[in-house]
Amino acid sequence: MSILFNPAKIGEVEIRNRFVHAATYESMAEEDGRVTDMLVQRYSRLARGEVGLIITGIAIVHPLGNVPGRAIGIYSDAMIPGLKRLAEAVHEHGAKIFIQLLHAGAQTNRQAIGRTPLAPSLVGPNPMYLNLARPMREREIEEAIRAFGQAARRAAEAGADGVHIAASGGYLLNEFLSPYFNRRKDGWGGSDENRFRIMREVIREVRRNLAPGMALTVKLTANDYTPREGITTPLAARYAKWMAELGIDALEIASGCTTYSGWHIWRGGVPVKELVKDLPGWQKPVAWLKFRSMAGKYDFSGPYNLEDARVIKAAIGEVPFILVGGLRRLSQMEEIAEKGEADFVALSRPLVREPNLVKKFREGRAEASSCISCNKCFAEIVHRRPLRCMASGG
Ligand SMILES: Cc1cc2nc3c(=O)[nH]c(=O)nc-3n(C[C@H](O)[C@H](O)[C@H](O)COP(=O)(O)O)c2cc1C
Would residue 392 count as lying in a domain?
no
C-alpha to C-alpha distance for 376 and 382, rounded to whole angstroms: 10
Strand ranges inside the chain, DSSP E: 8-10, 13-15, 19-21, 53-60, 72-73, 96-102, 118-119, 134-135, 162-167, 215-221, 250-254, 321-324, 344-347
pTM over 0.85: yes
Q: What is the pLDDT of residue 223?
A: 94
Residue among 106, 236, 257 nearest 177 (CA): 236
Q: Check pLDDT > 80 for residue 100.
A: yes
Residue nearest to atom 15 of ligand 1 (CA): 24
CB contact at 8 A, 65 and 14: no
Q: What is the 138 CA–ligand 1 centroid distance (Å)?
A: 31
CB of 27 closer than 6 angstroms to any ligand 1 atom: no
Kindly report the backbone phi and psi dihedral angles of residue 223, in degrees, each rounded to the nearest multiple of 5, phi listed first: -160, 120
CA of 241 to the centre of ligand 1 (A): 24
Q: From CA 55, how far away is CA 87, in angstroms rounded?
A: 11
Q: How far is CA 182 from CA 8, 103, 168, 185, in A?
A: 37, 16, 14, 9
> What is the reported pLDDT for 295?
87
CATH code assigned at 249: 3.20.20.70
| Residue type present at position 159 | G
Domain presence at residue 389 = no
In a domain, 367, yes or no: yes
Query: Is 46 near ligand 1, meaning CB less than 6 Å away?
Result: no
Phi, psi of 16 (to 5 degrees): -70, -20
Q: Give the ligand 1 atom nearest the CA of 71.
A: 8
Higher pLDDT, 300 or 17: 17
- Label residue 69 by pLDDT band (50, 70, 90): very high
Alpha-carbon distance of 149 to 140, in angstroms, equals 14
Q: Does the pLDDT value for residue 70 go beyond 90? A: yes
**Residue 366 covered by a domain:** yes
Specify if 359 maps to a domain: yes
Q: Is 23 in the pocket of ligand 1 (CB under 6 A)?
A: yes
Q: Is 287 in the pocket of ligand 1 (CB under 6 A)?
A: no
Amino acid at 242: W
> For residue 220, what are the β-bridge partners?
167, 253
Length of the chain: 394
pLDDT exceeds cutoff 80 at 129: no
pLDDT digits (tens, 9 = 90+) for 301-354: 899 999 999 999 999 999 999 999 999 999 999 999 999 999 999 999 999 999
Do 341 and 311 contact (CB within 8 A), yes or no?
Answer: no
Q: Is residue 390 part of a domain?
A: no
Res 197 pLDDT > 90: yes
Distance 266 CA to ligand 1 centre (A): 7
Handedness of CA 238, 7, 90, 153 (dihedral sign): negative
User: Does the C-beta of 221 come closer than 6 Å to ligand 1?
Assistant: no
Q: Is residue 393 part of a domain?
A: no
Percent of the chain surpassing pLDDT 70: 99
Question: H or E segment at 334?
Answer: helix 330-338
DSSP letter at 342?
-
| pLDDT bracket for residue 261 (50, 70, 90) | confident
Quick one: DSSP state of residue 329? B
CB atoms within 10 A of CB 348: 23
Distance of CA 206 to the CA centre of its chain: 17
Query: Above 90 in pLDDT, residue 126?
Result: no
Confidence of residue 227 (pLDDT cuts 50, 70, 90): confident
Instruction: Answer yes or no: is 114 within a domain.
Output: yes
The string of DSSP letters for 209-269 reads HSPTT-EEEEEEES----SS----HHHHHHHHHHHHHTT-SEEEEE-SBTTTSTTTTT-S-
Number of domains in the chain: 1
Nearest CA to ligand 1 atom 13: 24
Instruction: Give the domain extent around 96.
Output: 3-382
Q: pLDDT tens across 151-185, in order?
A: 999 999 999 999 999 999 999 999 999 999 999 99
232 burial class (0-12, 13-18, 19+ CB within 10 angstroms)?
middle
Contact 197, 273 (CB under 8 A): no
d(CA 350, CA 365): 15
Is the confidence at residue 142, as pLDDT, over 80?
A: yes
Cβ 158 vs Cβ 80: under 8 Å? yes
Rounded-to-integer distance, Cα 261 and Cα 278, Å = 23
Q: Beta strands 118-119 and 134-135: pairing type?
A: parallel
